[in-house]
Structure 1
Amino acid sequence: MFVRSLGPLELVVCGDAVPIGTPRTRSVLAMLLARRGGLVTVDQLIDELWPDGPPADPRMLVHGQVSRLRRVLGQDRDRLVTRKPGYMLHVGEQEWDVLLFEQSIADARAARAAGQPERGSKLFGEAQRVWTGEPFADVPPTPTIAATATDLHELRLAGLAEWFELRLEAGGDPELVAELTHHVAEHPLREQLVAQLMLALHRSGRQADALATYRSTRERLVRELGAEPGAELQHLHKELLRTAEPLPQKASQLPLGVRGFVGRRAELASLDAATALATITGTAGVGKSALAVHWAHRAQDRFPDGQLFVNLRGFDPRRSALDPGEVLFGFLQALGVSTERIPSSTESRAALYRSALAGKRVLVVLDNARDIEQVRPLLPGSTGSLALVTSRDQLTGLVAVEGAHPVSLDVLTDAEAADLLSARLGQQVRGGEAFDRIVRRCAGLPLALAVVAASSAVQPGLSLAAIASDLETGALDAFGGGDPQADLRSVFSWSYRVLTADAARLFRLLGLHPGPDISIAAAASLCGAPSPVARRLLSELNRAHLVVQHHQGRFSSHDLLRAYAGELAETLDPTHREAALARLLDHYLHTAHGAARRLDPHREPITLDAAAPGAVPVALSSYGEAMAWFEAEHTLLVGLVDRAGDDRRIWKLAWTLNTYLRWRGYGQDWIRSQRAGLAAAVRVDDLVGQANSAFGLAMAEFRHGGRAAADTALSLADEHFRSLGDHYGMASVCHQRCLISESDGDHGAAFEHAFAGLGHYRLAGHAAGQGRALGAMGWFQAKQGNLRQGLDYNQAALALSQAAKDLLGEANTWDSIGHIQRELGEFDEAETAYRRSIAIYRGLGERFNVVSTIIGLGDTQAARGATGRAKDTWREARTIATDLDHPALELVKARLA
């Protein structure tokens, strides 16, 4: 016999739930349980069963209720004992969920007191999993039952708070904010939980949300209780205010104003006349960006709601133009949209961006655009705001279709060029033969004049005559033929020449880097020096205007400077060039491998060779750091896989991208990287690489590509894994075949594939994989109508996943349990399971699988008649599915039709 009373009262006898009967029968059982084996008198039963006065012959009625209860107990009827003047019920320690709950709490507290926080946290978590609802949820609330329920409720909340405290102390818990938010919503006046939520939000970088939580709690306390928050909550609020950075009232992203800006009066006046959209076009280095920034500062009073700025890097020689979706992500954050609200597709981000700007007057400066397609998603959609676009392209489409106000920029006149150079060098050096010769050789190109001035500033002992002579003699690849790029090459050459030897070497090596910008660790790897040395060398390049630190710890440079660095890189000794590229590749490979293991620690790792001497991998210490690193570098990593040629590390780099690209829904990047990884593994005849890359390609093609390509890749992976005797790989193939069979509607075949995968996982000794396979078996049993058997499999899977700390496996299993319990009509349990699955998926940043789980939650709400809640839930699923072009999109649309 087993009794469940955390939720509806239920007796389980020989594995089957037994109906208890009338509400009064349930009340008798609940009161006996509440006394925990103690005596309940007949008089007590009468008083509580009939609080408004007993009927005729109440003792006979009590005896009748007890007799019914004995019949329900069946073979366990002897546990209900008559002891004058009443009754006692004997229940063992393992036979009542309340006793299991209380024992888990007691064990957790003992472990915590003994200095075992991990064990304590695990036991507190087990206690909370026993709690499936309000105690005696379907029992009439007699005084004894109500008091017992209140005590249990208080114990549960106290245990929750202790559990959250341990998890806060441990740090790095991706589910914590979501769980605390849920419980604070249920218990908004429980100040200890509110304080823990505030602290979790603060540690997650969500300072504004933490402070907002305090404000809403205080308002509720004052409104409902007429009291201020307690001393502890007020103290925490003050501490968060003390450590908080000032929150911006509006976006203010304009770079510093241009020092020594001269001329351009006609162009400035023309921009003053612009309304919704203006373009500044002209050749490289002509001063488009300087004009845009100068005018933006001059006109910012016209845009009181803020100024947005981005360098789109449209003409980078390495094709590193910023994706509009990435730009929109940054703009939305600057406009105060929280990260979790930002969708993944460019189209959805653009719609949210236009909504955020509606009714506002914001200036949006889009610098260095490649073409109109890069610009269009970034244009405000309402009047009042203005977009200013600079580009080497004429952007005629924006003029013809969007009615942009065009400003075409030419080189400076001689007088303006002299004004600019003297402003940069100091008015005291204006004029004279050498000065005039420099102005002439710079051909009115503002960037050339600025670089000459910067170079002179870092070498004050060098005379203007010497600079002019160098430019004119061609000793430094002198300007030629009036070609602006050729002229700039001369200036860049001179600027490069005055660097220290180490800084010059790093600048040459930067020409090998394929990305739009570079971190300090990557630069250190390129030059084979420690990070502090690389930081110092980058600072030197920054002072010489050859690179700019556009974000903390990340450096970029003008695309023409990058092109020049690329030319210099070709002059490197081939051996040195290859060694630098090897160090750079090892930096990204070893960092990405560690990041991938942070995202999914239960994925079987691959073996890496030791990093090349001088490579500087970054050790990422948390899930959040790993996700952020991939966000910053994933475009570069995909490009590296595409370009790196015949190298055994290439397929391994592609392997590291699988989890991130899959979770974030970057389908085409996923397919592209796995194809390139497989091709590289074939070129170097690496069978392990071919097996892993083929499997990654099979998954990517199945989700985002073509079925035929997926089947071909999966067959290749299976063949290679079998020849290698790789049971984990073979198990992975079985799992993929489960998904394929499921998509074909053949759940029997899917079950067989899952069963075969379980065998391979066992041979591989992979506990998390076994849990996932058991969960799949339970799912496919349920899909065939064997609900109870499916539930048993999934409960076993859940235990394995939790023991292995496999969050992804646990999320999948809770989803399956939710589905099965919904089919069984156990709607409360189904909702709980679905919400647990959703919380884990969200904590992991997993946006693909969570769609079906949210749909399942909506289906459960609809099944119990909560149509309004169901539609809200389905709309949430539709939003994510639309962003990802998810296969379930039509399914959820049909539900909302």
Structure 2
Amino acid sequence: MTARLRFAAFGPLRMWRDAEEVPVGSPQQQALLAALVLVEGRPVTVGELIRVVWHENPPRAALGTIRTYLSRLRRLLDGTGAEISALADSYRLSGGQLSADVWELDAAVTHAQQLLRAADPAGAARALDAVLAGSTGIPLAGVPGYWAETQRTRLADRRDMAAELRLTARLESAEPTAEDLADLARLVDTHPLREAPRALLMLALYRRGRQAEALEVFRQGHQLLRDELAVEPGPALQATHRRILRGDPSLIVVAPAPAPPSTPAPAVFLPAGLTHFVGRETELGLLRSALSGPGRVAVITGLSGSGRTSLALRAAHELAGSFPDGQLYTDLRDAGGIGGVLQEWLRMLGAGPDIPATDGGRVAMFSSLMAGRRLLLVVDNATDTTQVSLLRRAAPRATLLITSARRLTSVPEANWIRLGGFRLDDSLGLITAVAGRARVLGEPAAAARLAELCGGHPLGVLVAAHRVHGRPRWSIAAIADQLAEQLSDPYAASHDDCAIVSAALSRSYQMLAPLPAQVLRAIGAVRPERISAAEVAELVGLPLHQAYSALDALDDVSLIVDTEDENHYRLPSHLVGFLALRAAHSIDGDDAVMAMRARWDALTAARDRTLTPLRTDAPCST
């Protein structure tokens, strides 16, 4: 019976015949053996073996010495079925029952990647656990020479990439542990310029409720990339940063709670809510009432960045006890259409592999699985009434909680909740929660000014709060001054965090048809406290009915709001006004903006003359 051979390259080079460890000879002989093992059965030329041992300074007797080492190694292989065979001017290690920790690591990585593609992240993590536990130590420790040094770097990098893959799988399948955080911190320290481990560490910290630390990890990486390479972070790292800043609920998925064996487990696939949630007590009360029975529908609408998703998730978590069979969530922006939503939900409900290919078939299967279940369906970022109609057909008795940037007129039975901006005390509460009570109490007036500059726009307030937290040496007053300057200059360079707010507001702007977009730019150019439909018509040069139509379209996506005075409107925040002003300068041009302001000045002057009351003390003429 032949003995099994096993090699280990992580740590000192070692070799076992079955369970017995066998000495592998001098350091130079170890280098030659390592060269044959690491290529996993491929031939290695004599010239390459000479460079492995002596690099560019071989002795005259190098060839003879190589043959001596090979002869000694062949004797170590006796009785194992393995051999070192000569092929022209090359040698190859093959045959027998060979294994090596390096080969096992590569195989485990390949297997884990396959499991990840098959949506089995827990299996992928398990596939790498054992092999990484056995791959410790400095690779080829004690083996001398330039070749061995390059292999040490290469093998350590392969091990770190495998560890990164394992941690990626872990974060897709389970909450991060303290050990996961330590492993990620080590990877970031080892490879400070590598962005993927940094993004994973940010994600893990965020999921542990350490949002500020996650953002600090980004700041340090951003600074390092600028200082060392004069480059900005890549798209993936920047995307992770933006998602953490805005509290993207898809970053945290609450795993299904274990149920007793005798009862079916509820289908709970609901993201966690924001770490810092303030205000919205009135809206939460309306949602509790609106979703109190089967078949009920509630729709949350509001400006992008107003906190629609955060409110929906907070309400869904509070109402969990009313839906014992579970809660399903989907973001229609990422789901690949309604067919993708139904496919995802069918899998969540245990439909198995035979999911129909057509939307109609999926509707029928979903309706069948929903029968008798009390489920809450949370549909985020709906844009099309057809999407909602199809979901109602698939689950007529389910309770639906929908968020949408615009009013969906074909859902007449819906209870509508429109989100406005934060009250000042709510804005201050969010700044305090993020930046710290001591910081805000130290500059209460400056904190209030900063909140007012954000106009109650929740995402804007959150970004401003993180700017305060991330700049401990800056006064809040200085941060507020900087924001005020940015909001007054349409050509000011935007900070990364400002770009997050601009991107959210731009999503609402991009939903507009050309005429409402033109009207918004005109309003942004003059920045009125309020404006009537008739004034819009004169300002832009439109018939009155077209002005009404454009204002209705802007109102549908919350880029303007109506006032207490009939047919009068205002911008919802300074931030929207700034977005509209920048768009006006960029699209219409500086001259057009100046002309618009001159026209507005003339309109307001005429209005003021009309509204000037008669003097009661003027002398009468007869």
Assess same fold via TM > 0.5: no
Question: What TM-score results when the alignment is normalised by the length of structure 2?
Answer: 0.37
Greater fraction of residues in helix: 1
TM-score by length of 1: 0.26
Greater strand content? 2
